[in-house]
Chains A and B, each alone.
Chain A
Amino acid sequence: DSGVTQTPKHLITATGQRVTLRCSPRSGDLSVYWYQQSLDQGLQFLIHYYNGEERAKGNILERFSAQQFPDLHSELNLSSLELGDSALYFCASRLAQNTGELFFGEGSRLTVL
């Protein structure tokens, strides 16, 4: 158990819908990262938050957004869903902004029908 909790574990929805994925980092970790894992793209970095502030964006679509709340949990919002958004979404956390091991959650599997 990495200490990173992601909900829901599985989600099935239809095209055009909107979903929210939630991540609770390890206790005390200030950095949260979101990654998307799909069959054709592999593991892609989406976005990084540190202590509530966005630090960097990767290959994140404009239809996607995220935030980190004062209690340090994070949410990834995916809207106007398309079939190609079906993937496993991972959250990872670590204590510091720039150093230290990343601990991954078990992921949220999104299926868009």
Chain B
Amino acid sequence: GDSVTQMEGPVTLSEEAFLTINCTYTATGYPSLFWYVQYPGEGLQLLLKATKADDKGSNKGFEATYRKETTSFHLEKGSVQVSDSAVYFCALLNYGGATNKLIFGTGTLLAVQP
């Protein structure tokens, strides 16, 4: 079945460092890909998405490119801030089923130190 694999955390960075969180997926067809962020004590928020190969999703300085050839959707940010500390989830959604549920990776905790 469809699945998402993302790098285990925690990832600890200093402020202004470059961030990469790896995400790869297994799916039939052409899923849409998402990154969600969960700040402490809050629910999940959509950070960015890409719906087809070579699309780049971007938001708040974060970017991810849908790479079908490597089945990847790595999250990047050029300069992280303390306020970016959160858990980041990669997810896919394979349209065509009865429910189109999001399938999540296990989440990666990012801790940014001042």
Contact (Cβ within 8 A) B89 A43: yes
Interface size on A, residues (CB 8 A): 21
Point out the residues of chain B lying under 8 angstroms from A105, CB to CB. 43
Contact (Cβ within 8 A) B44 A90: yes
Contact (Cβ within 8 A) A56 B101: yes
Point out the residues of chain B lying under 8 angstroms from A42, CB to CB. 104-107
How many contacts A-B (CB < 8 Å)?
Answer: 47
Shortest Cβ distance from B42 into A: residue: A106
With A42-B105, A98-B99, A102-B102 given, name 10 new contacts (CB 8 A).
A33-B102, A42-B106, A42-B107, A43-B89, A45-B101, A55-B99, A97-B99, A98-B100, A102-B46, A105-B43
Interface residues of B (CB under 8 A from A): 36, 41-46, 49, 89, 95, 97-107
Interface residues of A (CB under 8 A from B): 2, 4, 33, 42-43, 45, 48, 55-56, 58, 90, 92, 97-99, 101-102, 104-107
Q: List 19 A-B contacts (CB under 8 A).
A: A4-B43, A33-B101, A42-B106, A42-B107, A43-B89, A45-B101, A45-B103, A55-B99, A56-B97, A58-B101, A90-B43, A92-B44, A97-B99, A99-B100, A101-B49, A104-B43, A104-B45, A105-B43, A106-B41
